């Protein structure tokens, strides 16, 4: 595992974000880190492990040095954290001095990679570190934190232990010359496997909602002019926490805003003011609105409940087929038609809660989904597509072994399926993995993490 990754050298990077700040942290990991830190601070005596020591680095800054002796550190190696004033130049010059003293610049995610290589974290937890850093809603952070704490890891370990036990019993049977299951009956094997199967199914079901929370979705507001699209856009933004995100909007020239809808980060797109007309600019607008609808996960089709539906409304109702939620806006006024739309008033806020629930329901494919209930109950354990795919492979293999048992197959055939299932789980936790996959995963991390 990870044979081509060396941990023999000492790596260094600025661990805090770019730009100026009150504090900035330089992190070093590897066998030479304590010695290099001593050299930078002109200290004769070694640092005391886990003690914050005031020192002067390169005669230019007063810093606090903390040494974490292996294996009790983030990476499992000797780690030194140098906290200085958050000047980009200062931090950079500490990094350069460390390099001159024998360290090398860390690759993105290399600290966490080392933590994984030293068995401090499994792959699920390492990926959760990145998710936690990227989290923009409290629910996203909760899901990532649970994974970092090992909720998913232990669920997978429990399943693997069951499969291991079963495989051991079947394998022992192979030593007997006569046919037949010697250490476990077919019925008991099937009961055990059915258990594993339903646990995998539960995890996979979690994954649908989990992905929604982890990845977020784009939602477009559509409708003819004056039905209240802009008002609804503002109402949804105003009553939801607006998300501060460094990511640029995905759609250009359309009004977009990131909002937290029940824990799911959503890019809300307003196509207000765009109508069919001969005007070139507006035509361009209509084209962009249509494009936005094509890439969006969901369209909120806004109608005016206080006005009879007109031709434009009918056309949009026919045109927008895909995942959609139909809204009868202006529900504070007397309704002149009734249909399947959700009655909402962008002005009074009436029906906004139902609308949010409907949005989550439509996006998760479960109309009654509890996704992101305000109290953060029932946090999904799976949220990463890679994890979901491995769980699905494991489920396919477990289902295969159950079929084999049902058809009276030999232990060997059942075992082959069980081995596949265990391999999928090992790929999930990173017990079995390729350097390419590791490179791919850790390259998406930021430097210094």
Positions touching ligand GDP (CB under 6 A) are: 223, 225-231, 272, 329-330, 332-333, 345-347
C-alpha–C-alpha distance, residues 191 and 384, integer Å: 29
Tell me whether residue 63 or residue 272 sits nearer to ligand GDP (CB atom): 272
Residue 365 neighbours by CB under 8 Å, 6+ apart: 208
Tell me whether residue 110 or residue 304 sits nearer to ligand GDP (CB atom): 304
Tell me whether residue 17 or residue 339 sits nearer to ligand GDP (CB atom): 339
Write down the least CB distance from residue 230 to ligand GDP, Å: 3
Tell me whether residue 272 or residue 438 sits nearer to ligand GDP (CB atom): 272
Write down the least CB distance from residue 82 to ligand GDP, Å: 53
Tell me whether residue 127 or residue 304 sits nearer to ligand GDP (CB atom): 304
Write down the least CB distance from residue 130 to ligand GDP, Å: 38
Write down the least CB distance from residue 316 to ligand GDP, Å: 12
Write down the least CB distance from residue 340 to ligand GDP, Å: 18
Write down the least CB distance from residue 306 to ligand GDP, Å: 7
Phi, psi torsion values for 72, nearest 5 degrees: -90, 65
The residue with its CB nearest to ligand GDP is 228
Write down the least CB distance from residue 228 to ligand GDP, Å: 3
Tell me whether residue 236 or residue 272 sits nearer to ligand GDP (CB atom): 272
Chain Cα centroid distance, residue 2: 24
Write down the least CB distance from residue 362 to ligand GDP, Å: 21
Tell me whether residue 33 or residue 329 sits nearer to ligand GDP (CB atom): 329
Residue 91 neighbours by CB under 8 Å, 6+ apart: 14, 16, 24, 26, 84
Write down the least CB distance from residue 341 to ligand GDP, Å: 13
Write down the least CB distance from residue 283 to ligand GDP, Å: 17
- Strand-by-strand arrangement of the 11-14 sheet: 52-57, 61-68, 79-86, 21-29, 11-14, 104-105
Write down the least CB distance from residue 225 to ligand GDP, Å: 4
Tell me whether residue 61 or residue 312 sits nearer to ligand GDP (CB atom): 312
3-state secondary structure the chain: CCCCCCCCCCEEEECCCCCCEEEEEEEEECCCHHHHHHHHCCCCCCCCECCEEEEEECCCEEEEEEEECCCCCCCCCCEEEEEEEECHHHHHHHHHHHHHCCCEECCCCHHHHHHHHCCCCCHHHHHHHHHHHHCCCHHHHHHHHHHHHCHHHHHHHHHHHHHHHHHHHHHHHHCCCCCCCCCCCHHHHHHHHHHHHHHHHHHHHHHHHHHHHHHCEEEEEECCCCCCHHHHHHHHHHHCCECCCCCCCCCCCCEEEEEEECCEEEEEEECCCCCCCCCHHHHHHHHHHHHHHHHCCEEEEEEECCCCCCHHHHHHHHHCCCCEEEEEECCCCCCCCCCCCEECCCCCCCCHHHHHHHHHHHHHCCCCCCCCCCCCCCCCCCCCHHHHHHHHHHHHHHHHHHHHHHCCCCHHHHHHHHHHHHHHHHHHHCCCCCHHHHHHHHHCCCCCC
Tell me whether residue 349 or residue 367 sits nearer to ligand GDP (CB atom): 349
Tell me whether residue 352 or residue 398 sits nearer to ligand GDP (CB atom): 352
Tell me whether residue 202 or residue 315 sits nearer to ligand GDP (CB atom): 315
């Amino acid at each position: 595992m990870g044979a081509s990754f060396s941990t023999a050298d000492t790596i260094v990077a600025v661990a805090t974000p770019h730009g100026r700040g009150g504090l900035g942290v330089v992190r070093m990991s590897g066998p030479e880190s304590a010695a290099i830190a001593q050299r930078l601070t002109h200290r004769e005596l070694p640092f005391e492990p886990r003690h914050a020591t005031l020192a002067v680095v390169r005669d230019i800054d007063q810093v606090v040095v903390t040494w974490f002796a292996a294996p009790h550190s983030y990476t499992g190696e000797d780690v030194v954290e140098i906290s200085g004033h958050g000047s980009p130049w200062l931090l950079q010059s500490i990094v350069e001095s460390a390099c001159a003293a024998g360290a090398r610049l860390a690759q993105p995610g290399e600290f966490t990679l080392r933590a994984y290589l030293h068995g401090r974290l499994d792959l699920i937890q390492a990926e959760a570190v990145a998710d936690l850093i990227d989290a923009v809603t409290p629910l996203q952070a909760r899901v990532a934190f649970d994974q970092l704490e090992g909720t998913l890891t232990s669920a997978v370990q429990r399943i693997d232990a069951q499969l291991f036990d079963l495989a051991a019993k079947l394998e022992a049977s192979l030593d007997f010359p006569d046919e037949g299951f010697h250490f476990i009956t077919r019925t008991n094997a099937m009961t055990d496997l059915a258990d594993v199967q339903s646990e995998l199914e539960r995890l996979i079901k979690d994954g649908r909602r989990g992905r929604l929370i982890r990845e977020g979705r784009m939602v477009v507001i559509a409708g003819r002019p004056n039905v209240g699209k802009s008002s609804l856009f503002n109402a949804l933004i105003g009553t939801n926490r607006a998300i501060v995100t460094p990511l640029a909007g995905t759609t250009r020239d359309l009004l977009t805003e990131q909002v937290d809808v029940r824990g799911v980060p959503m890019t809300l797109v307003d196509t207000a003011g765009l109508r069919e007309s001969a005007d070139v600019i507006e035509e361009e607008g209509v084209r962009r609105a249509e494009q936005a609808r094509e890439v969006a996960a969901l369209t909120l089709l806004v109608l005016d409940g206080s006005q009879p539906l007109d031709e434009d409304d009918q056309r949009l109702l026919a045109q927008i087929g895909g995942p959609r939620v139909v809204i009868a806006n202006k529900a504070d006024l007397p309704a002149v038609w009734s249909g399947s739309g959700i009655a909402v008033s962008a002005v009074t806020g009436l029906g906004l809660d139902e609308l949010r629930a409907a949005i989550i329901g439509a996006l998760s494919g479960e109309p009654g989904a509890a996704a992101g209930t305000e109290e953060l109950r029932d946090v999904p354990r799976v949220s990463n597509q890679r994890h979901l795919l491995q769980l699905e492979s494991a489920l396919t293999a477990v289902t295969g072994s159950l079929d084999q048992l049902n058809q009276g197959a030999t232990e060997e055939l059942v075992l082959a399926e069980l081995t596949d299932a265990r391999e999928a789980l090992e790929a999930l936790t990173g017990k079995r993995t390729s350097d390419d996959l590791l490179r791919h995963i850790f390259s998406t991390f930021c430097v210094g993490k």
